[in-house]
Amino acid sequence: MNVAIIVVISCAGTGFFLFFQYILPHTYLLPIFSLLNNFQLILSNYPDQEIIQKINAEDGTEGSNNINQIGSINRAAKGSNVVGLWTPMNASFVLQHLKGEQQEKTIDTLLMWGYQEYYYVMNNIDPDSVKMTDDLLKTANKTNLKIIIILLPPSEGGPDTSYDWKGWIKYFNSLEKKYARSFEGFAIDDFNWISTRSDTKFRNNIDYMEYSGLAKELKDKSKDVKFYPTVYFEGRKTGIVVKKYRNFIDGLVVASGCYYNVSSLKNELTIFKEIFKKPIRYLIYPTITYNYSKQDYSPPTDRLVMSTLSIASNSSDGLIIWRDLDSPVIQEHMKSRYNERYLSDISKSTELQISDEKNESSDKLLKSANVHTTCTNWYKKYNEAYDNWMKLPQKEKETDAWKKKLLR
């Protein structure tokens, strides 16, 4: 295809996306998970947690196909962490909207690039949505790509969003029977997040999950249908998530609301894995999110994204790339993540990034003093919790006693 045509199409697609992003904000940022000194955790009453969640609860942001330069899916056999893709902003790779041969070729491309999972939103079990999902799963069933359906919480859902949990579970069980190879399961976004919308009865998404009887319906979920709630380090009432939902959870999509700072990321991931005892996929933000752009933040630097990739690759069970698969940093990571020289380079970048984060003044790290103060407080709490956990005798680490104290 002529290069000029490709550029025109790409620019047009980006323009349409930015327009719709502006009028349809989407939530993906900053809950507050309180880790108090000496393992005294109060998940619902930390004074600064409102700041981050209010700022970010409204969040949202919507190629090239050179397969030979990217590499082969055979790399997946080397035992690396799974890599998923959260519905990309590049319309050429939004699988659920593609048809026939185009859909097949695009799946092949994503697999060749190293993506093994694909996440997308489904609002309702209406005929059009069911057909769209059937078509995608039928195509993916001939490949190694796993499909995960995202359900939206009240903080994000609209008037057409279904919260008929019984219906959803029945539907997911049926998909697993029909498409056992391609259908992996479902996620519920912003599971421990707040809602700043005035038209929602419940301020916390987890409160709505309790009110609507989600746990009761999860009991009927087939063991082969995986449940991956999106849980934030800084989220609200995480203790309830552990106590009432851990037995139904097959893994976590973990996110950080304070993703402009990675100095505590390793400790945060370690504590979460110890609390939940479940596989963790960490959400990577290679591009700026809606609410940060509203506050005139600059996009994440390449070094920040590289550092996040380095830490999460070593401290989690998988990565999920949030929307921007066209990012050069992401493309380089997918191409070179088994290359020792590359791994050494991003490790050095991480050391420099963390050093700068510790040395720079607050106004350089984040433009909002309130958000910076809140994030700094939570980094401190996680670091203290990690340090205290490391000092525990091994027998105490293996019990739930320290977790109960931490989540009290």
What DSSP designation does 91 have? G
Q: From residue 193, how far is each of 53, 129, 163, 397 by CA, in Å?
A: 7, 26, 17, 28
> Of the ranges 53-57, 160-164, 244-248, 300-304, which one carries the lowest mean pLDDT score?
53-57
Over the stretch 85-127, which tens digit does the pLDDT of each residue have? 999 999 999 999 999 999 999 999 999 999 999 999 999 999 9
More confident residue, 371 or 131: 131
Confidence check: pLDDT of 35 > 70: no
pTM above 0.85, yes or no: no
Q: Which of 106, 199, 103, 107 is nearest to 159 (CA)?
A: 199
Q: How confident is the model at residue 372 (pLDDT cuts 50, 70, 90)?
A: low
CB contact burial 382-396 (16+ within 10 A = b; e otherwise) = bbbbbebbeeeeeee
What is the structure's pLDDT at 146?
98
What is the structure's pLDDT at 94?
98
DSSP-assigned beta bridge partners for residue 240: none
Q: How far apart are CA 67 and CA 113, in angstroms?
A: 7
Q: How confident is the model at residue 147 (pLDDT cuts 50, 70, 90)?
A: very high
What is the structure's pLDDT at 68?
34
> Of the ranges 38-52, 202-216, 367-381, 391-405, which one carries the lowest mean pLDDT score?
38-52
Q: Which of 69, 64, 72 is nearest to 93 (CA)?
A: 64
What is the structure's pLDDT at 9?
42
Q: How far apart are CA 405 and CA 37, in angstroms?
A: 11
Q: How far apart are CA 334 and CA 116, in angstroms?
A: 12
What is the structure's pLDDT at 295?
74
Q: Give the mean model confidence (pLDDT) for residues 226-233.
A: 97
Q: How confident is the model at residue 369 (pLDDT cuts 50, 70, 90)?
A: low
Q: How far apart are CA 395 and CA 399, in angstroms?
A: 7
Confidence check: pLDDT of 62 > 80: no
Q: How far apart are CA 183 and CA 140, in angstroms?
A: 8
Confidence check: pLDDT of 63 > 90: no
More confident residue, 388 or 255: 255
Confidence check: pLDDT of 41 > 60: no
Q: Give the mean model confidence (pLDDT) for residues 390-395.
A: 89
What is the structure's pLDDT at 54?
54
> Of the ranges 46-60, 150-164, 322-336, 352-366, which one carries the lowest mean pLDDT score?
46-60
Q: How confident is the model at residue 181 (pLDDT cuts 50, 70, 90)?
A: very high
Confidence check: pLDDT of 384 > 90: no
CB contact burial 9-31 (16+ within 10 A = b; e otherwise) = ebeebeeebeeebeeebbbbbbb
What is the structure's pLDDT at 359?
85
| Cα-to-chain-centroid distance, residue 230 | 6
Over the stretch 329-343, which tens digit does the pLDDT of each residue have? 999 999 999 999 999
Confidence check: pLDDT of 1 > 80: no
Confidence check: pLDDT of 21 > 80: no
Q: Which of 315, 316, 303 is nearest to 260 (CA)?
A: 303
pLDDT > 70: what percent of the chain? 76
Here the contacts of 395-398 (C-beta below 8 Å, separation 24 or greater) are 397/274
More confident residue, 7 or 340: 340
Question: What radius of gyration, in Å, describes the C-alpha atoms of the chain?
Answer: 21
Confidence check: pLDDT of 73 > 50: no
Give me the CATH topology for the region 26-406. TIM Barrel (3.20.20)
Confidence check: pLDDT of 349 > 90: yes
Query: Which residue carries 């539907």 as its tokens?
Result: 171
> Of the ranges 74-78, 200-204, 336-340, 354-358, which one carries the lowest mean pLDDT score?
74-78
Q: Give the mean model confidence (pLDDT) for residues 383-388.
A: 88
What is the structure's pLDDT at 376?
85
Which two structure tokens, joined as six digits, stand for 356?
Answer: 């700068």
Domain edges within the chain: 26-406
Q: Give the mean model confidence (pLDDT) for residues 143-171.
A: 96
What DSSP designation does 305 have? H
pLDDT > 90: what percent of the chain? 62
Confidence check: pLDDT of 45 > 70: no
| Average pLDDT for the chain | 82
